[in-house]
Every structure is written in structure tokens, then in C-alpha cells.
Structure 1
């Protein structure tokens, strides 16, 4: 990738949150998020490229103690990152069949939630994948809470809304019952900001209401749409 002109960029998204992405964009162009805390830094989602410059920059920020992935599309080079930083990888056990490179650093968790260092919570939200996971960060957004969603919840052009999908490239929607379950699962958590899978994909404020409002709109649309 270096020979093709790729390099990584680190961008502060807010205090204690660093976005890590590749430029020019590679594949679908997602970026990871490094949540920094005194209890250990957690890398949310993963990118493919890891060079010495990126390693040193992340090490200067305190390294990585844990890696958590929203769903198998972002497994990418997670083992290389984990080996380089001597970090554990946390994946939901229901997605084990999608792991193409087993490693002793992978921890398969079960159930609906898992606590990580730094007061972080992994939440099995489902949707895009049956074990699709989001990360709740209550210290984010100046203490109002942030949700890191990958594309389990995706940000749309109108930042007052988000959306949900089974298959993005094939435009296959989720059933209303699944989106209702996702809505009910995430509703008890407090968060004012939402970070999806790309640098620009952010709901800066009122994100909790945006998710609930969007789920309600989605359910109405798929249940009530009528054709002549």
C-alpha cells in the first residue's frame, strides 16, 4: 500500500477520541476510532493499513489495550494491529464463523453487553449483522455521552436522521420488527453524539433522539407504504 501512495492520518474528533484512516481511501474508506483513557486505550473498528509511522503515533498516545469491532466487514487487519500493540480483540461469539484468521488474542464474548476499560460498554445491537455491535462511551461529547456505531447505525445526509440496513451495497432493508428491537435496545442509553464509520459521518448533537426518531420513521415507512 505504501508503494501505491497510501498513508494513514490521525485526526482528533474530540478530546480523548482520535480517528485513524487511510489516505487515499482504501476499499470502502472507513476509519477506526481510538478512545483514550487512563484505564487503557480502546480501538473501535479497524483499518487495513498499519505502518511504522502509525504505530509510533498511536504508541505516543498510549498504545492500544483492547480492540473491539462492530461487525465482520471491519475485521480487516485486526490481528496485525493486536499483535503489534499486544492488545486483546473483543468479538461477539456469534460471529466466530466469520473470523478467517484465528488468534489467541481474540476474546469471544457472549450475551447482550460487555464492559471494557474506560467505562465503555459494548452492546449487541444486531441489524446489519445478527451480532452487530455498538460502543457506548458515556464520557464522550463533553460528558453527554457518545455512541460509536460503525455502520450498524449509519448517518445519512440529513444529520437529524440515521438509518439501518441489512445490506448496503444491495440495498436490502431490515424488517420493521428488527429495527423496533434495535430501537428498544439502544433507547435506555444516554448519548448526545454519534460517530458512524467515516470521518464525516457524525451526528454532532441530539443523537439519541435522532436514532429513536429515525427508527420510528423507518418502521412507519416499511409498514405503511402503499403503491397504486
Structure 2
């Protein structure tokens, strides 16, 4: 019997058993949404039959990995190649044989790290295939509904990795929202941000919100804290969760200008 335990809206996979929820808690939350016709489920076999993984080179050490046709939130995962071990930033629900072969040809995965719960998807499948660790900030532990032996919850503001990479806790969108700082991506360093920072389609503004689809702003004190933590990083490049969110060379300036706009508006409302 095939069990439908993969949320069609966010792509999160739940346990196959009585403990699996009737409604996806990640979508039944103000930061996300349920479809107007109610909760919709599918399963991994069905997803594998109707979709494939597409991998695109962004730089010689950075690859975008996404599902086509688009499924659920339509986000991409980002594969960072590094001498001491590769890391996958965020995740997508599908992992097919061509993508497994490609990642293994590049050295496999040493770890998977996350920006926030919307992109947990099928993380346990990925961790099992590549025998790697999964790093999630401890403040987002309540949003892990399908736990696995590879998951490591970390605490504090920063988690140093290797080869100049570190996970930085920003908070904001979720209590445990994070970004990944990668020094070697550009002259001043790059940030992989998921939805912790949201690059506008114009690429002239960066938003930081409680909910992007529902247009709910952050509380002022939470916004200030996220701005403070990001401002402490040196960077000129940002790669976000979606294809249009490649902001190269001037990301620091765009972030600064966006912060000034926030300070002139919502922080003094």
C-alpha cells in the first residue's frame, strides 16, 4: 500500500504511520498556507514518476538543484563544492539517480544545512543516500516532524564549518532561520540565504519578513536583530532560494539600502 505522506504545498515528507499528521503543520501556519481546497498529499513514488531533477552550474564551485516541472514551493537547493567536503544548502523533495551520480562525481556530501523549515522536504532520504550530517538550528527543532539519526541541532549565533564556511543564525522568518557564509564565492564573500533574506525580482531590494506569501511583517525588535546579525557579515554576493535571486557584486550595497528604507519606515512606524 502506497502512503500519501508528502505535502504537495511545501514538499515536506512525514513518517509513514499513524503518527503522520492529517494536516501539514508547516503549511497550517501563518508563514505558509493551505490550498483553498484543503490539504493535498502525494507520495515519493508518484513524485519520482512525474518529475526530474535539473542541475545548473552557477559558478565552478556552486550548483543549483531543482525539480522540473516545478513542485510544491519550487525552491532550489544549492550545492557548494569545497576541498574538505561539499555541503548542500537547503533541500528539494526529489533525489533521482542522475542527481545522485552527479553529486557523487563531485565528491558527495559532507553535510546538509538549512535556512528554515519550509525546505526540510525529504532531508532524511538525502542524508541516508550520502551518509552525511544534517545541521538545523536548535530553535527550529519543534518544526522537525520526521526526525532522523543524521540530524544535529546546533545552538548559538554561528556554527563554523570548514574551508572558511559558517552557518550564521539570523532569526526573523523563523526563530532558527539561518544563512550560510561562503568566503570563496566572490571577492568579499557570498551568502546563501534561502528565505532568511528575500531578494526582490528587481534585485534592488532585500526583504526580511515573518511571512512572504501572506505579507506579514516581522516585529520591529526581531527585524532589528536580524539586520544586526547580517550587517556583521562581509559580503558582496547573495544566492537565494529561487532562480532570479542571484545578486552578484553589489549585494552588500543593496542590503544596506534596504536597511535604510526599513529604518525610515517600519522601524519608526
Q: Normalising by the residue count of structure 1, what TM-score does the alignment of the two structures yield? A: 0.94
Task: Return 156-165 or 63-72, whichever deviates more.
Answer: 156-165
* Structure 1 gap ranges (5+): none
- Pairing partner for 1:187 from 231, 234, 241: 231
**Equivalent residues of 1:176, 1:218 under 8 A apart:** no
In the TM superposition, structure 1's runs of 4+ consecutive aligned residues that sit over 6 Å from their partners are: none
Q: Name 1:106's counterpart in structure 2.
A: 151
**Equivalent residues of 2:53, 2:94 under 8 A apart:** yes
**How far apart are 1:31 and its partner, in Å?**
0.3
Residues 165-206 of structure 1: CA distance to partner in whole angstroms, max 9, x if unpaired? Answer: 101121101123322221211112111110110122111121
Q: Normalising by the residue count of structure 2, what TM-score does the alignment of the two structures yield? A: 0.80
- Pairing partner for 2:195 from 148, 151, 158: 151
Is 1:92 aligned to residue 132 of structure 2?
Answer: no
Q: Name 1:168's counterpart in structure 2.
A: 212
**SS of residue paired to 2:58:** strand
Q: Name 2:262's counterpart in structure 1.
A: 218
- Pairing partner for 1:9 from 54, 59, 76: 54
* Structure 2 gap ranges (5+): 1-46
**Equivalent residues of 1:127, 1:166 under 8 A apart:** yes
- Pairing partner for 1:61 from 98, 106, 110: 106
Residue pairs, 1:116-155, within 5 angstroms: 116-141=161-186, 143-155=187-199
Please provide the CA RMSD for this pair. Answer: 1.3
- Paired residues, what number? 223
**Equivalent residues of 1:179, 1:219 under 8 A apart:** no
Residues 144 and 223 (structure 1), Cα distance of their counterparts in 2 relative to 1, 3 Å cut: closer
**How far apart are 1:71 and its partner, in Å?**
0.5
**Equivalent residues of 1:72, 1:99 under 8 A apart:** yes
Q: Distance in 2 between matches of 1:223 and 1:89?
A: 35
Q: Distance in 2 between matches of 1:207 and 1:171?
A: 23
Q: Distance in 2 between matches of 1:131 and 1:165?
A: 14
**How far apart are 1:102 and its partner, in Å?**
1.3
Q: Distance in 1 between matches of 2:268 and 2:78?
A: 37
Q: Name 1:22's counterpart in structure 2.
A: 67
Q: Distance in 2 between matches of 1:118 and 1:25?
A: 33
**SS of residue paired to 1:139:** helix
